[in-house]
Amino acid sequence: MLLCTGLLCGSTSLVACSSTNGGGDATPEPSLDGGASVCDEPTILAAVQSDFEANYPGSSFVAMDSFTCEDGWAMAEVEFEASGETFPTVVFLRAEGQFWIPTTIEDICATPRADSDVPEQMYVAACGLD
């Protein structure tokens, strides 16, 4: 079973991350991104976990490895479990007021890069365009 709707399956090149899970790494101070949306590990993690619970029955969120926020957008590298196997994927979120809303790759890539408000490194990660 391959779970890709709204998610980028497989590995992608990493972008500069705001936080990582793991020993010894300090978590940066929370910052506001896209207005009132807080960009910190607990907030991004909660949005990703909520997305998995609501939209991907039969799969389970495992871990968030890293995330980055820029100009009202967030990208989180996560792992999920389906059919007894763990897979890496990338989740994209856009800020709407104080909330982070999951956004599909199809929605991101439907707008040409030149007309998109998605930060370039996130657009490239979602659409594979340079």
Q: Is the dihedral of CA 12, 16, 18, 21 positive or negative?
A: positive
| Verdict on whether the full-model pTM lies above 0.75 | no
pLDDT confidence of 89, banded at 50, 70, 90? very high
For the chain, count helices (H), then strands (E): 3, 8
Question: Up-side HSE of residue 56: CA atoms within 13 Å toward CB?
Answer: 22
pLDDT of 130? 59
**Geometric angle at alpha carbon 92, from 52 and 86, rounded to 5°:** 45
Q: What is the pLDDT of residue 24?
A: 38
Instruction: Give me the mean pLDDT over the 8-31 stretch.
Output: 37
Two tokens, residue 30: 């929370």
Between residues 29 and 3, the one the model is more confident about: 29
Q: Where does 8-15+33-103 sit in CATH, by number?
A: 3.10.450
